Amino acid sequence: MTRRDATVALLALAGCESKPKMQERRDLHSFARPYEVRTKHLDLDLEVSFDSKTLRGSVTHTLERTDPAAPFLLDTSGLSIEKVETGSKPEGPFAAAQFTIAPAQPTFGAALTIPLPSDATAVRIHYSTSPQASGLQWLDPSQTAGKKRPFLYSQSQAIHARSWIPCQDTPGVRATYRARIRTPKDLIALMSARSDFRLANPKEPPSGDYSFRMPLAIPAYLIALAVGDLEFRYLSTRTGVWAEPSVVDAAAREFVDTERMMQAAEKLFGPYVWQRYDVLVLPPSFPFGGMENPLLTFATPTILAGDKSLVSLVAHELAHSWSGNLVTNATWSDFWLNEGFTTYCERRIQEAVYGAERAKMEAALGYQSLEDELKSHPPADQILHIDLTGRDPDDGATEIPYEKGALFLTHIEQVFGRETFDKWLRAYFANFQFQSITTAEFRSYLRNDLLAYDAARANRIPLDEWLTKPGLPTTAPKPTSDAFAPVEEVAKQWQAKDASDTKPRTRDWNTHQWLHFLRALTDSSDAAKMAQLDRAFAFTASGNSEILFQWLRMSVRHGYTPAHPRLEEFLTRVGRRKFVRPLFEELLKTDYGRKRAEAIYAKARPGYHPITASTIDGLFSKKLPKPQ
């Protein structure tokens, strides 16, 4: 062994950065080279123009330079870069600088390269966004609840921050930020950051000129902005809800338990470091259920069921305040570290606030979705540490990182016992706080700080299988709920005949039981059975989005035409991809359905977010499987 080899071996033993570790940290979805030049802070100064549907202004990056010869590389997508300046201080003075923009690549956008003078530590980029920016949705007044004022919101995860900010758009880079946002005078601007008016008196916001600061380092995908006709309601001194005026009171009623959720979460996972926790309820075109923007979860209005039955979404986004926002996946291949941990933590919060049975029902429903999802993905995509080379990171956002990841942690919890596991979990969050970590780093922390203490228990957990193999280990836990037993009995009777006489037995069922009921009948029904079910339970008129979605999906599958007007109403109002995609998929399975899908999509598409629209465009352009 040469001296150099020996040093490398020693460094590897000591856990220092070695070649393979660098490889694991490489983010295939970003052009940035943070190991050469890294953003530490961003200063945004943007004007919001609803007339041109653009953001225009500048971002100033404060840099840390490791390689003095290297240029500054950033991600951009659809931006027009007007001018670039460099300086030795973020407050200036600045001097004009050269820059080049590489040809744009589909999905990833265009690399922006800025050569740096030797003393430059600040770079200011003057730019504007495109009206088609993939990370922004500009809503006309008709797409809002109030119908009078326009609305704008961002959705940066996974790689859309680059469509509204030239930045190092990789979860491996964390930076603090400040922002000044100019808006039309009668609209409110909110960001995933602290702001004085939110604390002092949210009822009297500054008019048209907002300042925000995020003093804790976060990845670019957590930078978020929303502008609209918004009102605030306190839920507790440190939690609240923002929504359009006609929605805000219903939202406040639905989310009354948010403070209790926070207290449960802090007890389980450690202190909440971000300051406030507010939920912003967006218009129904929001393509996701929720997004964990720090201090300000963005949420779909489709969880406003009137009975708090769908608030696990709030528990989920709140849990990201630890898993995801505090300890972040280093690359999108490590996405399960964000979502699997969060799904596990979400259920722990639900259990603490609503009791063990509710958490069990939610876990059991999650398990069913996981089983379905495993059936429809090739083995390589069933692996927690997924290979996303050359692919859109969105491809990895299936139920697998969520539910398989949560099941993995549940397995460890069950083998080691709650007390030991919870201690380890708190230590994990404390140990990696404000870091972006890889699956390998998680794995070695689990080994050294939990498994190593009890070999007998550790041997019961097939670590390698959980992390690197498709499917589920045979020893995986299988969540079930006693509350589903009576549901299965009634479902069985319905499978046999029109069992309207079972109605009294369903009187006290909750949303989760109804969902279990519908799933049990999904495959075995036909149009006649659907009509009987609808007569007995009026599913077509359901105001609960999850129940309605499940019902509409069955209706398409079994050709239950009386539900079609409701289907059209739903698909033209709601843009949440989890609902919209399976419904179009189902429609596209038959010729008749395709015609209906085309007619509905022509009406619905203008209202969809670019993310949902591009997903549905993809379904329509997919070739039909050849008849056998």
Of 250, 273, 397, 619, the residue at the interface with ligand BES (CB under 6 A) is 397
Reading the block at residue 147, the tokens are 């119908």
First vs last Cα of the chain: how many Å apart? 62
Q: How far is the CB of 314 from ligand BES (least distance, A)?
A: 9
Stretch that binds ligand BES, among 109-117, 222-230, 314-322, 593-601 (CB under 6 A): 314-322
- DSSP track, 10-71: HHHHTT---HHHHHHH--TT----TTTEEEEEEEEEEEEETTTTEEEEEEEEEEEESSTTPP
Residue 86, helix vs strand vs coil? strand
Q: Does residue 317 have an active-site annotation?
A: yes
613 burial type by CB count under 10 A (0-12 exposed, 13-18 middle, 19+ buried): buried
Cβ atoms of 348 and 267 within 8 Å: the answer is no
Reading the block at residue 468, the tokens are 């690197």
The answer to whether 320 contacts ligand BES (rule: CB under 6 A) is yes
Q: How far is the CB of 82 from ligand BES (least distance, A)?
A: 29
User: One symbol per residue from 327 to 366: x for binding Zn ion (CB under 5 A), - otherwise; what is it?
Assistant: ------------x--x------------------------
Catalytic site residue from 177, 354, 402, 601: 402
Q: How far is the CB of 346 from ligand BES (least distance, A)?
A: 7
Query: Which C-beta is closer to ligand BES: that of 127 or that of 322?
Result: 322
Question: Could you give the C-alpha distances from 524 to 503, 513, 593, in angstroms and in order?
Answer: 19, 18, 20
Contacted entry of ligand BES, Zn ion, none for residue 158, CB cut-off 5 to 8 Å set by kind: ligand BES
Q: How far is the CB of 15 from ligand BES (least distance, A)?
A: 30
Stretch that binds ligand BES, among 204-212, 250-258, 312-320, 411-419 (CB under 6 A): 312-320
Subset of residues 129 to 158 that bind ligand BES, contact rule: CB under 6 A? 157-158
- φ/ψ (deg, to 5) at 627: -65, 145
The answer to whether 317 contacts ligand BES (rule: CB under 6 A) is yes
Contact residues for 448 (Cβ-Cβ < 8 A; gap 6+): none
Subset of residues 553 to 592 that bind ligand BES, contact rule: CB under 6 A? 578
Query: Which C-beta is closer to Zn ion: that of 339 or that of 362?
Result: 339
The answer to whether 292 contacts ligand BES (rule: CB under 6 A) is yes
Q: How far is the CB of 2 from ligand BES (least distance, A)?
A: 46
CA trace torsion 445, 469, 376, 598 (10° rounding):
50
Distance CA 366, CA 103 (A): 42
**How many amino acids of this chain bind ligand BES (CB under 6 A)?**
15
Query: Which C-beta is closer to ligand BES: that of 150 or that of 289?
Result: 289
- φ/ψ (deg, to 5) at 35: -70, -10
Residues that bind ligand BES (CB under 6 A): 157-158, 288-292, 313, 316-317, 320, 339, 397, 402, 578
Residues that bind Zn ion (CB under 5 A): 339, 342
Active site residues: 317, 402
